[in-house]
Structure 1
Amino acid sequence: MATDENRAPEAGRPRGTAMSDAAAASEALPPVAPGERHLILVDGSGYIFRAYHALPPMTNPQGVPVNAVYGFTTMLSQFLTRHAGTHIAVVFDAARINFRNEIYADYKAHRPDPPDDLIPQFDLIREATDALGVCRAQLEGFEADDLIAAYAKAYLEEGPGQVTIVSSDKDLMQLVRPGVQLLDPIKQKPIREPEVFEKFGVTPDKVVEVQALAGDSTDNVPGVPGIGIKTAAQLISEYGDLESLLARATEIKQPKRREALVENAEKARISRRLVLLDENAPLPCPISEMVAKPPPDGRLESFLRAMGFRSLLARMGKLGEGNDPPRRGAPPAALRHAPAPGPVAPDLAVPFGPYEAVTTEDALARWVAEATAAGVVAMDTETDSLDARRAKMVGFSLAVAPGRACYVPLRHGDASDMLAQPAPAQVAPDRAFALLRPLLEDASVLKVFQHAKYDLDVLARGENGGFDAIAPIDDTMMISYAMEAGKHGHGMDELSVLHFNHQPIKFDEVTGTGRARIPFSQVPLDRATAYAAEDADVTLRLWLLLRPRLREDGALATYEQVERRMVGVLRAMEGAGIKVDGAELARIGEDFSARLAVLEKQIHALAGREFNVGSPKQLGEILFDEMKLSGGRKGKTGAYSTDAAVLEDLSAQGVELASRVLEWRQLAKLKSTYVEALAAEIDPIDRRVHTSYGMAGTSTGRLSSNDPNLQNIPIRSEEGMRIRRAFVAEPGHVLLAADYSQIELRLLAHLAEVPTLREAFEKGEDIHSRTAAEIFHLGPGSVDKEARRRAKMINFGIIYGMSAFGLAQRLGIPPAEGRSIIDAYFAQYPGIRQEMERCKEEARIHGFVRTPFGRKLWIPDIATKDPVRRAGAERAAINAPFQGGAAEIIKRAMVRLPRALRDAGLNARMLLQVHDELVFEVPEAEVVPTAALVKSIMESVATLRVPLSVEVGTGHSWAEAH
């Protein structure tokens, strides 16, 4: 998309050669003196799983899955062409059960079994290792990490030398010492003592002590509950080692920490035995057999031919006739819906550009063939509009490897403008689309986008090719968002600078700005190519870097099961839109205008003169200079502040002018933001409004709504309900609104140990009345409206980290009374305070909190020294698990509902998502079964300690459906 806006948080763009990360990593190996012994130990499991999850399903000529075999062979063969070792071995795990299970039966008990299509590839991968002439080591009863530790020790005991362990596994960091280093195969950087200290807060010789305290949920190492890496490092730094700490645990001042250490001392000792690697493990393969040597004659070629690995044979110059290639896109039936990432281990350090301008059909055909062979291609569209529903494609870019990208102009030049640049040679759009279609619709080729929702909408338009079957896809914006929501933006430019320290060319640099701006179609082709192809290049590099991290980060399920699937769901919703009654909007606008005029006269009368009610400056002068009211404070401009907080303060003091201005402002905002803006957004063809959902703009995982924003229409006010009456169903249909009831309070009851709240939800009681009765000690039937209002305010305020002062302001009571209510609340529900403190502590230790479903939500300001910002960050840390959990629940429902409706033969369309509510357009004859299905799906998408509850309503307008 030819605008800088498309690179902002909602829409960036990125690029990509398919050199493996193993090969690239080898270039990061330290120089070795001539004649110096150097042992390279490759963590085989790391290679296997990275290859498996980074390549699409493929089978060999015999129908056996081989995507992991292909990726592993590629990575290891490229490593061998560049490594500087005198000795090399690949170390594998022999089996899941080992001596640690005798120490602790539940060790690694939570680890899932390998995928069914990976299991038959293990033996083939070992065969590939043999064919490459590399020694492989494995031993029953021991893990690969133990063998790596034993080989490192034995190698250095034989004489001076260097050991490099190709892995970024934190469990291996305890081995780092003079002569032994790790090499991160993704970041292509060595891991030595400084990197270990940065990770664990201690030197490598103390890593085991820290791990023993912190435990490891992935491997089911228990550790000491409540102690994380940061706290463990502090304790070990102070006490020296685990046993010294446990011996003096009673001296620790913090009561909870002291109790945890005393009560879990034996768990800590067991954990230490589990994480300590056995440097004295037997050596199944003698070191003398690890001498680096070329592959055995003919063996590698025979293996590659048997597997059908034509590209690897081609690199050897031995590609002849009769080689059946791996059959991409034809995996066993059970695997056909598996995720399909692309090549592994790129060299991300190659230069950005130069790039090719593709101006002939032959050249485009070559690029399509190259992308098809690569199995993955990054794509970006350049258009003439930010509105995907109206955008016309000016050109598109493709990237198949870092630095290997092109731009295909389609509609450059303007014959109607005599002063415009002459049209360059370019492929006719219809011919370009015909050549591109097989690539985009090839199920064996992964298509990578940055902000896929936009590009897919553009490509779906008839004049842009009408591509409606582009699959499979990946979205780098959503990959980044799934891992690091709240930590930073997810636009292409920001991600490029963050991960590659590379600032992409800006849109303004090629089009100019202001009155001098020219359309992208008029940008000279060389500059357009540099800009557009770089976008695809950056996208591919981001994908190659970030995609493998999803599993390591624990975000793979969030991305694949929710975020990526939401792309198609939201495209369908945005395309459907919702019908708006323009005549009703006009009537509402006229009514609001009349009411504003009346309010304005009342305000002028109260002020004693006419003035511009919309001018904060004039209002401040009247309130504080002329009326001499207290509380006036001037800002840097010299004008009085008259924001909502100031006016609400004055209104609470009985200043009627402030109350009327607040009312005027709210009505004026509704009129301009919704009545007038909605009328302008009605599509002249279908008379519907098509909002655009932002997928990566919030820190909690919630969606946002733009152009127009339909999520901030007031729910409770009469004005808000009037606006909702203008949203209507098509003839013969009704609108169905399904709203999660008190979902964040239910998540609070789920997370915090509050038996009475859980009981109330399980019994279907009114939660606010129950809370009022308990914190105000009221008898049955004694809870009045005021008590319930106060309880409701505190129930929801707690979720947002509201202070006693804030509660007092909301309720219009003295601060001391607000404090007493808060104290009574926490006295009744101590589990809630504990959960709040746990959230803040988790944020302080890790920089993020997790939702109930494991998603990380980052809290950047939690460690700031600014007390105001830090307090805000602590409130965000308290609230994030609830808002984030609610967002995940409704997204899960949104992903499941369209298919469930289709499978049930129902014709409802999901139109809107507003906070905890979904709105559908339903044929009148299908209302009952649709309502039952929607309610059932929404209430079953997550299993909590309390039941989810969904309220369903229907009507011919959105207001009636409530």
Structure 2
Amino acid sequence: MPTLYLIDGSAYIYRAFFALPPLSNSKGLQTNAVYGFTTMLLKVLRDHRPDYVAVVFDEKGPTHRHEAFKEYKAQRPPMPQGMSAQIPYIHRVVEALSLPVIRQAGYEADDLIGTLARKGEGEGLDVVIVTSDKDMFQLLTPKTRIYDPVKDKWFNEADSLVRFGVEPARVVEIMGLMGDTSDNIPGVKGIGEKTALKLISQFGTIDELLRRVEEVTPAKTKALLLAQGENARMSKQLATIEIDCPVEFVPARFQAKAPHTEALVSLLRELEFMTLAKAFQGDTPEPNRLGAEVIDIRDDAEAKQFLARPGAEPFLGVSCVLNDEPGVRADIRGCAFGWPDGAAAFVQGEARSWPRPLIDYLRDGSRRKVVQDLKPLLLALHRQGLDMPGPSFDTMVADYLLNPNRRAHTLEAIAMDVLSYQLGAGASDKPDEDPPSLFDVDARVIRRSGEAAAVTAKVAPLLRDRLRAQGSLSLFEDVEMPLVPVLVEIEQNGFLLNVEGLGALSRELERELEQMVGTIYRLAGGEFNIGSPKQLATVLFENLGLKPLRKTKTGFSTDEDTLTQLAGQHELPAHILNYRTLTKLKSTYVDALPQLVNPDSGRLHTSLNQTVAATGRLSSTDPNLQNIPVKGDYGLRIREAFIAPPGHQLLCADYSQVEPRILAHLSQDPRLLDVFEKGEDIHMATAMEIFNLPAGEVTREMRRAAKSVVFGIVYGISPFGLASNIGVTQAEAKHYIETFFEKFAAVRALMDRNIDDGKTKGYTTTILGRRRPIPELQSGDPSQRGVGERMAVNSPIQGSAADLIKVAMINVHRRLQDELPACKMILQVHDELIFEVPDGALEQAKQLVKGEMEATGAALKLSVPLKVDVGVGGNWRVAHP
């Protein structure tokens, strides 16, 4: 039989909103409810292909249930702002999918669904109610079923007996007695589901039960029914779904239709649901394929002809095909070039063998080249003896500034977002049926590279316009793009590692761990798998009888916090913690780092990622050299393994208290400004204020606590978090924070202003205009909103610090190239720059680096001076200031 699907739209909006994290698009619009609702809807349509369908929503305003019982649903909080902002988009999704929408003032979605279900049955249709609401079980009949797409479960009449113990017609009798807390239906207080089932099984209905109430046992239940009988009758009425609402069912209106694809794709792109948009893009007429034909460039004449195409400027897209080697070891197999009009060409082989006109064009600093992810290309070109000076345009970096919360800044996402263009749609996934290529590179790879080159050339000016409109163009052109060649040089330089020293340390750790295992087994009373949380829990809580502190889904917790607290009760937890620490140091650093040394250079070459952290900070991977331990004896010995070669020293330059200085500038707090103008220690000054003591009486522990307060303020820490960090009570921690805000009142005003601005604008900005959308500020979940408030407080400070170090890197690099080319920048770690300097240039390098880094404050027009601490030594441990 043909089917009618009735979708409970209102219920699924709530379900999607609370089930998914607060996703958002780059403009700060929260999109979790839209995304969850849309995917649910598409699943139903795709998997079940209904003949007739409708999406039913609640309408604003009271219904007959509110008239009968004014407290009906009164306990429900107002719809969260983050949800209400998404409702219009959900309605637009439904409209674009060509789905009929049913809503009517004075009636709930449940009543409209009940009425349509019965009318659909009357038209000879099988009815499917798409919902997760148990109330709908009363509507089950031989021709009406329920489908829950989230659980992918079906329910029929027989399932009513399983769920409620009665047939569908008597579900409301059960609900009338037990009530429904979600709708504030009172029922009979004191009667639960089991008792309700027993009573209805015996008496059939509430009316019959109340008529024969004297037969009810035990006496307590009878007393409840005598006192609350009318509540039971009213609750049954409230729980009963109406099936005679004034809503028409005309089958032709409900017939499933094809979506309005163009409108749907446009809306999905606006919401930045790129994968969903891509799925529908194939249903739209194909635009002209960029790079549809990729010509072969084999000699100078063909290269000249391609580069001289009329009207081809201003951007030449470049898309190289690299081998599978990582980072600095990657080589070029060939390269595609594309113009914004779609013309594309491919040249085979290494860069050094390309026709001269192509090489000259890339080397020409007056020509604008555009690349998706420029850094790997520059590394590969340099490896083959070819440099490509700017100005260059990196579409990935541009998208990162425009959409910092986007997880992956792929060319596919950018093309869909900017051009409504599906990259790769013209390429076949089948084995290539073209004639053999003149080149070694597969013809499909050539086509895709040519298309990518043309797409980057076409999107670049559009991205540039968006950056200008957002106010980020200067940040892009003056900071992010000049930074790329600096990162290239850092990665090329690498960091020398004392492999033999780490080998000796590994053997030492192995011996110590063996001794620790013996001690652990002795304290545990026997051998067990130390790495197994389950076996460890058995030892701690069963064998040793320690009291568990927290339970997880898999058993009692044995995490670091738990073991730290248990260490006061028994020796074993402390030994386990130490064992875990040393095991991680050995596996993650001591044993792993030597395996990552480049055999060609004998050095570690990290990758510095420019488009990952939403704050603007750089990150380090493969290996992560920003996370090398700095505490503990073994951590410091690992740092000793990072060395300078003979005849050189490491020079480490670290900004001192840069985030508190930026806090002073942004807040313009007079006391903070005065501290830094006088060159005082902010942590000592804070300790003097919160402990009300002169400098001579402030202890090291007090200064450490004050430092935690300062950075806690910067990161929006709670009294609970601060108390945990410094080992005081929450009351003391709260007092410290309140005292800080009393003494530095403008800081509190700044934080309140940042939160208010973030809520109003949807984003925060740094000193240089870097934006960070914070949709969490609109969340209905207080914990998520708290996360958003902490981000709003911290992002302008941390982001400005990220901008500052990037500007410093560019300026120092430029001066070193001009004045001390033998001095190499080899790593950036947060606020620290590390250099490898020849012995004879050490003093000049110290003055240059320190002076240029401190002068960066003037470039950002900071209200306070910057201070840079400089250290020198043969290894990183010694050199770190």
TM above 0.5, one fold? yes
Q: Secondary structure at the match of 1:702?
A: coil
Q: What secondary structure, in the 3-state scheme, does the structure 1 residue paired with 2:879 have?
A: coil
Contact 2:340–2:455 under 8 Å retained in 1 = no
Corresponding position of 2:412: 493
- Partner secondary structure for residue 339 of structure 2: strand
Label 1:640 to 1:606 Cα distance change in 2 as closer, same or farther (>3 A).
same
Distance 1:532 1:650, change over 3 A: farther
| Aligned equivalents of 2:561, 2:295: Cα separation in 1 | 56
Q: Distance in 1 between matches of 2:453 and 2:291?
A: 11
Paired amino acid for 2:674: E
Q: Which residue number in structure 2 is paired with residue 720 of structure 1? A: 635
Give the counterpart letter for 1:622 in structure 2.
Answer: V
Q: Please tell me the residue identity of whatever aligns with 2:696.
A: G
Q: 1:626 to 1:365 in 2, by over 3 A?
A: farther
State the alpha-carbon separation in 2 of the partners of residues 645 and 683 from structure 1. 38
Q: Which amino acid aligns with 1:482?
A: L
The one-letter code matched in structure 2 to 1:806 is G
Match of 1:887 in 2: 802
Residues 235-256 of structure 1, C-alpha deviation per residue, up to 9 Å, x if partnerless?
A: xxxxxxxxxxxxxxxxxxxxxx
Look up the match of 1:442. 364
Bigger Rg over Cα: 2
Contact 1:357-1:525 at 8 Å conserved across structures:
no
Q: What is the deviation of 1:668?
A: 1.9
Q: 1:507 to 1:897 in 2, by over 3 A?
A: farther
In the alignment, which residue of structure 1 is the partner of 2:319?
A: 380
1:616 to 533, 542, 549: 533
Report the equivalent of 2:184. Answer: none
Letter in 2 for 1:478: V
State the partner residue of 1:542: 459
- The one-character-per-residue Cα deviations of 1:357-413 (angstroms, maximum 9, x if unpaired) are 5265465553333389524211111122252422232322222025433444549xx
Aligned twin of 1:603: 520
In structure 1, the partner of 2:873 is 955
Structure 2 counterparts to residues 425-440 of structure 1, below 5 A: 432-440=354-362
CA offsets 1:334-357 (integer angstroms, 9 cap, x no match): xxxxxxxxxxxxxx9644453325
Give 1:444 deviation, angstroms. Answer: 3.8
Amino acid at match of 1:642: T
Residue aligning to 1:400: 339
For the residue of structure 2 that corresponds to 1:603, the secondary structure is helix
Asked if 1:904 corresponds to 2:842, the answer is no
Quick one: distance in 1 between partners of 2:398 and 2:834?
A: 28
Instruction: Give 1:221-370 correspondences, 5 Å limit.
Output: 350-352=288-290, 354-356=292-294, 358=296, 360-361=298-299, 364-370=303-309
Q: Distance in 2 between matches of 1:432 and 1:371?
A: 23
Q: What is the aligned counterpart of 2:841 among 911, 922, 926?
A: 926
Taking a change above 3 Å as real, the CA distance of residues 774 and 470 of structure 1, as seen in their structure-2 partners, is closer
Q: CA deviation at 1:446?
A: 1.1
SS of 1:401's partner is: coil
1:508–1:808 CA distance, 2 compared to 1 (3 A): farther
Q: Which runs of 5+ in 2 are unaligned?
A: 1-285, 432-436
Q: What TM-score, normalized to structure 1?
A: 0.57
Tell me if structure 1 keeps the 8 A contact 2:548–2:557: no
> CA separation in 1, counterparts of 2:477 and 2:624?
27
- Structure 2 vs 1, CA of residues 537 and 828 (structure 1 numbering), >3 Å: closer, same or farther? same
Partner AA of 1:581 in structure 2? N
Cα deviations across residues 436-495 of structure 1 (Å, max 9, x unaligned)?
A: 213212344311001101112112222xxx322444311111122233333553232332
One-letter amino acid matched to 1:449: V
Kept after mapping to 2: 8 A contact 1:848/1:856: yes
Question: Is the contact made by 1:482 and 1:563 (CA closer than 8 Å) also made in structure 2?
Answer: no
Which structure 1 residue ranges, 4+ long, deviate > 6 Å from structure 2?
506-509, 520-524
Aligned with 2:663: secondary structure?
A: helix
Task: Give per-residue Cα distances to partners, 1:528-554, cap 9 Å, x unaligned.
Answer: 234222322332233132012222211
Shift of 1:803: 0.3
Q: Within the alignment, does 1:643 sit opposite 2:565 as a pair?
A: no
Within-5 A mapping of 1:579-590: 579-590=496-507
Partner in structure 2 of residue 389 of structure 1: 328
**1:906 Cα shift?**
6.0
Residues 816-856 of structure 1: per-residue CA shift (max 9 Å, x gap)? 23222222222222222211111211211122111123221
Q: CA RMSD in A?
A: 2.9
Q: Report what 2:26 is aligned to.
A: none
Match of 2:864? 946
1:623-772 residue pairs with structure 2 within 5 A?
623-636=540-553, 638-651=554-567, 653-772=568-687
Q: 1:692 to 1:845 in 2, by over 3 A?
A: same
Q: Structure 1 residues 522, 438: closer, same or farther in 2, change over 3 A?
A: closer
1:591 counterpart SS class: helix
Distance in 1 separating the partners of 2:587 and 2:721: 30
The 3-state SS of whatever aligns with 2:627 is coil
Q: Does 1:455 align with 2:377?
A: yes
What is the CA deviation profile of residues 923-950 of structure 1, one whole-angstrom value per residue up to 9, with x for unaligned ones? 1112112111111110011232221100
Structure 2 equivalent of residue 339 of structure 1: none
Q: Is the 8 A contact 1:399 1:537 kept in 2?
A: yes
Q: What is the distance in 2 between the residues matched to 1:873 and 1:847? A: 10
Secondary structure of 1:398's partner?
strand
TM-score (norm: length of structure 2): 0.62
Cα distance between partner residues in 1 of 2:439 and 2:724? 58
RCO higher in structure (CA 8 A, sep ≥6): 1
- Asked if the contact 1:569–1:894 (Cα under 8 Å) also holds between the matched residues in 2, the reply is yes
| Preserved contact between residue 722 and residue 959 of structure 1 (Cα < 8 Å) | yes
- Specify whether residues 635 and 448 from structure 1 end up closer, same or farther in structure 2 by C-alpha distance, changes over 3 A only: same
Q: 2:722 aligns with which of 807, 810, 815?
A: 807
- 1:775/1:825 contact within 8 Å kept: yes
**What CA deviation, in whole Å up to 9, does each residue of 1:734-764 have, x standing for no partner?**
1111000111111112222432222222222
**Residue 958 (structure 1) shift:** 1.2
Question: Which residue type is aligned with residue 379 of structure 1?
Answer: V
Q: Are 1:563 and 2:501 counterparts?
A: no
| Alignment CA distance shift 1:931-1:597 (3 Å) | same
1: CA distance, partners of 2:378 / 2:647: 31
Q: Post-superposition shift, 1:815?
A: 2.2
What do residues 843-881 of structure 1 show as CA deviations (whole Å, max 9, x unaligned)? 111221111232212224232223322222221221111
Correspondence for 1:480: 399
Query: How far apart, in 2, do the equivalents of 1:408 and 1:952 lie?
Result: 48
Correspondence for 1:118: none
Q: Which amino acid aligns with 2:319?
A: D
2:79 alignment counterpart: none
1:407-418 pair list within 5 angstroms: 407-410=346-349
Relative to structure 1, the CA distance from residue 546 to residue 802 in structure 2 (aligned partners, 3 Å threshold; closer, same or farther) is: same
Mapped to 1, the partners of 2:793 and 2:357 lie a distance apart of: 53
Aligned to 1:221: none
Q: Within 2, Cα distance between the matches of 1:508 and 1:708? A: 35
Partner of 2:493: 576
Match status 1:915 vs 2:854: no
Q: Which residue of 1 aligns with 2:172?
A: none
Residues 907 and 383 from structure 1, CA distance in 2 versus in 1: closer, same or farther, beyond 3 angstroms?
Answer: closer
> What's the CA shift for 1:790?
1.2
Counterparts of residues 159-174 of structure 1 (less than 5 Å): none
SS at match of 1:579: strand
Partner SS state of residue 369, structure 2: strand
Q: What is the one-letter code of the residue matched to 1:432?
A: W
Within the alignment, does 1:824 sit opposite 2:739 as a pair?
A: yes
Letter in 2 for 1:436: L
Measure how far apart 1:579 and its partner are. Answer: 1.2
